Amino acid sequence: MESKTTHSTNFLNTFSGKFNGKRTANLVAMWLTILVSQLIKNFLTPLGFVKKHSDIRSTDAPIMEPSGSFFDSWFKQFIFSKTFRAKALMPLVLVVSMLMGSVVLGQTWTLNSPIICSGNNVDLTLTATATTTTNQAGYRITLPTGFSVVSVPETTNASNNKSWNVSTPSAQVICLVAPGNGDRLSTMQFVSVSIVVNVTSGASGSLTGFATTTANSCPSSGGTLSGSPTITAASNNTIALTSAGSTDSQSVCINTAITNITYATTGATGATFSGLPTGVTGSWSGNLATISGSPSVTAGSPYNYTVTMTGGCTGGTNTATGTITVNPASAVGSVSSNQTICPGSSPLDMSIASAIGTIQWQRADNLGFTTNVTNVGSNSTILTGLQVGALTVTRYFRAVVTSGVCTSATSAIITVTVEDTTAPVITLNGLASITLESCTDTYTELG
């Protein structure tokens, strides 16, 4: 019991400054060794990182597992055994050796772009944080087939302003190595590295990596990095017309609904629409772009529109174009008056005051325009007598005006009446008579 009391006094004296020189330094080192050994026993051994002393062999001195009271067992061994004190760090060396084959590194891969596009460059960021037992000196990151390194920083700054040396032994391999002064992850506090890679069409695979505790080494085996994600290059956007072939080049009358125009898309997450007339809008949902509505204006017609995919990969067909022509409503103005002519004569010119659209004059045999309807004349506000020709019976005329695809507008009807075809007879004083050749002949009665 007296021996234990003396030991306790020596222990306390060590930290009260009564021991000086080498003895004090040795005692402090031994105390730290005790703490580390306790950490190994109580925390790391149960987790499987350190083997018990029965599995460890040393030709110089055994490693003793603590038992019983802390001061009764460990304190006496370290105060009085120089041999044990010299070999106290041996378990730590074994810990590092075992970790080389079973490194677990808390780390996260991040794609700086939500979609990896074929033929494009993309940033990959690796963020790594050491666990309490890792002490890494180098990493090897391997990209899957179809991915190749475009650029990586020459050095990657750590949180304590130290740097990792970065190299690319091949187009698909990146090495991160601690400087030659022996720094490890625990002192470097490595945070992240951003790598720019190029992706070829259809590329897919997992990012893999190894870690090592060997200084100045880019490992090709050893501890495997956890959490390696699978990444796939997305296909380029596509857009194709799915409505009738003529719908992307259609004409419509003002204030009349267009025939819906639809496009099937792939890869995109949305679409924008430009160049549409007022009253017509575009929408995108479920990989289907739709243009619909009723145009309310004609100014600027025809309207050349563009559908542009948003999101996704824009290396393929990313836009579609078309034309919507908006016609004003058909309209007609007033027409000239009715006429009466002699048989065999041509009528005077007929006219329409105004028209919106193309004018087509028509002639019919009856007022209801159901018998012998015939187109006459050309696209003009005037129908000439020459175009009509000589008439021997009454005929009816009108103008039909059509604006594009709009419903036609019809003018009022002009009636051209042809007089009785019988030549008039004139009787002179009951003694004689004169028959005129036609209704156009005139005579003068003498006094």
Task: Give the CATH number of the domain where residue 378 resides.
Answer: 2.60.40
Q: Which residues pair with 176 in a beta bridge?
A: 139, 166
Do 176 and 160 sit in the same domain of this protein?
yes
Residue 428 within a domain: no
The reply to whether 153 and 226 lie within a common domain is yes
Nearest C-alpha neighbor of 279 from the set 292, 295, 290: 295
- What pLDDT score was predicted for residue 47? 44
Total of domains in the chain? 4
Give yes or no: residues 366 and 396 share one domain: yes
The structure's pTM equals: 0.54
Lowest pLDDT segment from 62-71, 268-277, 279-288, 309-318: 62-71
Q: Is residue 424 part of a domain?
A: no
Are residue 164 and residue 204 in the same domain, yes or no? Answer: yes
Whose CA is closest to 124, among 188, 199, 190, 177?
199
Instruction: Point out the domain boundary residue: 281, 298, 327.
Output: 327
Residue 440 is assigned to a structural domain of this protein: no
The predicted structure's pLDDT at residue 292 = 98
Average pLDDT, integer, range 356-384: 96
259 lies in the same domain as 306: yes
The H or E element spanning position 301 is none
Comparing 23 with 240, the larger pLDDT belongs to: 240
- Across the range 360-367, mean pLDDT stands at 97
Give the DSSP H/E element, type plus range, for residue 138. strand 138-142
Residue 441 lies in a domain: no
13-22 per-position pLDDT tens digit: 333 333 344 4
By the 8 A CB rule, do 117 and 309 touch?
no
Assess if residue 127 is contained within a domain.
yes
Are residue 223 and residue 120 in the same domain, yes or no?
yes
Q: Are residues 192 and 138 in the same domain?
A: yes
The string of pLDDT tens digits covering residues 32-88 is 555 555 555 554 444 444 443 333 333 333 333 333 333 333 333 333 322 222 222
Say which CATH number the domain at 154 has. 2.60.40.740
Q: Which of 66, 99, 132 is the last residue of a domain?
A: 99
* Domain-ending residue, one of 308, 327, 346: 327
How would you list the strands of the sheet with 147-151, edge to edge? 106-111, 121-129, 192-199, 147-151
- Residue 119, SS3? coil
Regarding whether 291 and 228 lie in a shared domain, the answer is no
Domain residue limits at 348 = 331-418
Is 430 a member of any domain? no
Supply the pLDDT for residue 119. Answer: 67
Same domain assignment for residues 71 and 169: no
At residue 384 the predicted structure's pLDDT band, cuts being 50, 70 and 90, is very high
Beta bridge partners of 166: 176
* pLDDT single digits (tens) 144-164: 787 788 777 655 455 555 566
Who contacts 288 (Cβ-Cβ below 8 Å, separation ≥6)?
A: 242, 262, 263, 264, 265
Residue 84 belongs to some domain of the structure: yes
> Residue 317's domain is classified under what CATH number?
2.60.40.10
Phi, psi of 431 (to 5 degrees): -100, -30
Round to whole Å and give the CA distance between 355 and 205: 69
Together in a domain, 88 and 125: no
Provide the pairing of β-strand 121-129 with 192-199. antiparallel
Q: Is residue 119 part of a domain?
A: yes
CA distance 235 to 229: 19
Enter the tokens of residue 159: 């949180």
Whether residues 202 and 253 fall in one domain: no
Same domain assignment for residues 264 and 278: yes
- pLDDT tens figures, 385-396: 999 999 999 999
Cα-trace Rg, the chain: 51
Rounded to the nearest 10 degrees, what angle do helices 21-39 and 2-14 cross at? 100
Angle at 46 (CA atoms; ends 41, 47), nearest 5 degrees: 120
